Amino acid sequence: MTAISSPINLFEYEQLAKTHLSQMAFDYYISGAGDEITLRDNRAAFERVKLRPRMLVDVSQINLTTSVLGQPLQLPLLIAPMAFQCLAHAEGELATAMATASAGVGMVLSTLSTKSLEEVAEVGSKFPNSLQWFQLYIHKDRGLTRALVERAYATGYKALCLTVDAPVLGQRERDRRNEFVLPSGLQLANLVNISGLDIPYEPGESGLFTYFAQQLDPALTWRDLEWLQSLSPLPLVLKGILRGDDAARAVEYGAKAIVVSNHGGRQLDGAIASFDALAEIVPVVDGRIEVLLDGGIRRGTDILKALAIGAQAVLIGRPVLWGLAVGGQAGVSHVISLLQNELNVAMALMGCSNLRDLET
């Protein structure tokens, strides 16, 4: 294979990133659960849908702007919450935050970030319309969870994004084989100085799997959402919805948005592709709350298809890590720019100048 010096798409970034990452880090980022059926199907789902472009439409001006929960975005894109970004680059989440805020897209910061939520918020504060959400895992220690929410609210995050598809961690065999643990010098920046809250070394097992089993609350139910919403005025977003009836419950229990997501194929192997689930969920929600899509986005045409089905915006994950590994902030900026350019061209070729007019 010819060496890639300057990636021109997200797939080439993935190839190049492999040369910049340790085997353990690359496997952690790229792997799915079990046989990785759902991981592969997230991509295949987009490939199954075909487009029918309109001709002789004025597309001399393409408008990619939108809003999510009232916050403006320059294109319908947020960065999904991803743990341990300093495995890819020393600046980790700070580089991602700077790139996303500069581009006018959103960022969801993981509870398990390697830069603190305060540090990341400080980056966002330099941009007037920065959209930053805080992704939350609810720990068995509810006092710890309360403290995280209070810190997120105090530092200016615009929403809480509760991950609901991880009562336990999926069986990620690459991590188990590698005995995944954070390298020396990296830590859970939001949880420092709290006894026992680190990723343990576990012979023959993934340290992250052990952390989830020990620390996160598998007893969480819909009834707990009322308690969570009592902790701050922040709107609640539920990430990990794959069924129409769960989407209806999200509306009933006061969520302001949902993210249709299977956790990037990293939880239940064999679960429906996120994009396939979207078509069931959008009519159930019927515009009462906003619907976003996460999983498998690699091209501008993927974004176009998701929006045409009814998503307000999409989230991307792994490609940001590839950009981060290859070029830090500049790499993440380039990944976003590639998607923006592809979406712009796809809109023009579809005969559509505005996102709200999209249809497949």
Rounded-to-integer distance, Cα 336 and Cα 297, Å:
12
**Domain contains 5:** no
pLDDT score of 255: 98
Rounded-to-integer distance, Cα 308 and Cα 305, Å:
5
**Domain contains 246:** yes
Rounded-to-integer distance, Cα 255 and Cα 257, Å:
6
C-beta of residue 332 within 8 angstroms of C-beta of residue 323: yes
Rounded-to-integer distance, Cα 330 and Cα 99, Å:
7
pLDDT score of 211: 82
Return the CATH number at 261.
3.20.20.70
- Tell me what percent of the chain is helix, strand and coil, each rounded to the nearest 5: 45, 10, 45
Total domains in the fold of the chain: 1
DSSP reduced 3-state for 193: coil
Strand partners, 67: 72
Amino acid making up residue 107: M
**Domain contains 359:** no
**Domain contains 360:** no
Q: Out of 89, 139, 263, 334, which one is annotated catalytic?
A: 263
DSSP 105-139: -EEEE-TT-SS-HHHHHHHHTTSTT--EEEEEPPB
**Domain contains 3:** no
**Domain contains 277:** yes
Query: How many other C-beta atoms lie within 10 A of the C-beta of residue 49?
Result: 16
pLDDT score of 1: 39
Handedness of CA 282, 285, 287, 293 (dihedral sign): negative
User: Does the annotation count 263 as an active-site position?
Assistant: yes
DSSP 216: B
Domain that residue 284 falls in: 10-354
DSSP reduced 3-state for 358: coil
**Domain contains 118:** yes
**Domain contains 228:** yes
Question: Which residues of the chain, if any, have pLDDT below 70?
Answer: 1-4, 195-197, 201-205, 207
pTM of structure? 0.96
